[in-house]
């Protein structure tokens, strides 16, 4: 916020503080974890000023002065979450230590690997996460058995499983047991659900690209900052 008397919706303010994306911040608010000037706030649309004292789980938050954008090559066996009651390893812990509070923009399931972006920029996260941005996510999948032609045809044309419609923007068979899939919306566990419908199991599932950003030679478990041109390309979406 540029002026002390300007008003900002609480979920937008939390996103600018690097607490979470706007959507995730809404969940924090409605679950009663956010206080403004010492008072719990659960109503979406509540507005705050630069002088408001905002806490999340009792911890003071403030607008970030530096925005960061980091690409991680997430290994399998790491969780996309800020914490885990089961004590499983967190993808967040693989990042270098920075003073800003980062969160993952989008997700990869526990067993999958590949490109995962972290940031403290709520507006940036909103662009990446919205289906209207039509940002492509590209995956390479190795399967436990040969992939039938019917799988490629169904996933490319669109298939409904348990009332949910799944459709790949692009799909290519690059081996008897290996496929390249490009998604737009990326519903929860989409590739795994479609594979399971055809009695296939993904032995290895890796996201190799998010929009203009490719993993390239980035080693598993390693990370790098996005370059300004990559961030600008996302913003144009």
Relative to beta strand 223-225, strand 69-74 is: antiparallel
Whole-number CA gyration radius for the chain: 20
Q: Is 109 a catalytic residue?
A: yes
- Cβ atoms of 28 and 14 closer than 8 Å: yes
Beta bridge partners of 59: 56
For residue 85, give the DSSP letter: T
- Cβ atoms of 72 and 32 closer than 8 Å: no
Listed in sequence order, the DSSP H helices in the chain are 10-16, 22-30, 122-129, 149-157, 190-197, 228-236
Q: Which of 37, 109, 121, 162 is catalytic?
A: 109
What is the spatial distance between Cα 148 and Cα 171, in angstroms, rounded to a whole number? Answer: 13
What is the spatial distance between Cα 121 and Cα 126, in angstroms, rounded to a whole number? Answer: 9
Residues classed as catalytic:
109
């Amino acid at each position: 916020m540029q002026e002390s008397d300007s008003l900002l919706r609480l979920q937008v303010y939390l996103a600018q503080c690097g607490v979470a994306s706007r959507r995730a911040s809404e969940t924090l608010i409605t679950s009663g974890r956010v206080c403004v000037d010492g008072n719990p706030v659960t109503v979406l649309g509540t507005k705050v000023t630069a002088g408001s004292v905002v806490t999340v789980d009792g911890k003071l938050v403030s607008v970030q002065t530096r925005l960061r954008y980091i690409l991680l090559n997430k290994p399998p066996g790491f969780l996309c979450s800020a914490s885990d009651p089961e004590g499983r390893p967190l993808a967040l812990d693989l990042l270098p230590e920075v003073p800003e509070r980062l969160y993952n923009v989008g997700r990869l399931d526990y067993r999958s690997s590949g490109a995962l972006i972290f940031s403290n920029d709520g507006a940036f996260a909103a662009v990446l996460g919205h289906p209207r941005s039509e940002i492509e996510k590209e995956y390479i999948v190795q399967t436990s058995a040969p992939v039938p032609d019917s799988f490629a045809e169904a996933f490319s044309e669109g298939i409904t499983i348990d009332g949910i419609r799944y459709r790949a923007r692009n799909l290519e068979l690059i081996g008897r047991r290996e496929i390249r899939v490009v998604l737009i919306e990326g519903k929860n566990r989409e590739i795994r659900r479609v594979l399971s419908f055809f009695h296939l199991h993904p032995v290895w599932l890796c996201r190799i690209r998010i929009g203009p950003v490719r993993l390239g030679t980035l080693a598993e478990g390693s990370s790098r900052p996005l370059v300004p041109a990559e961030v600008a390309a996302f913003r144009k979406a």
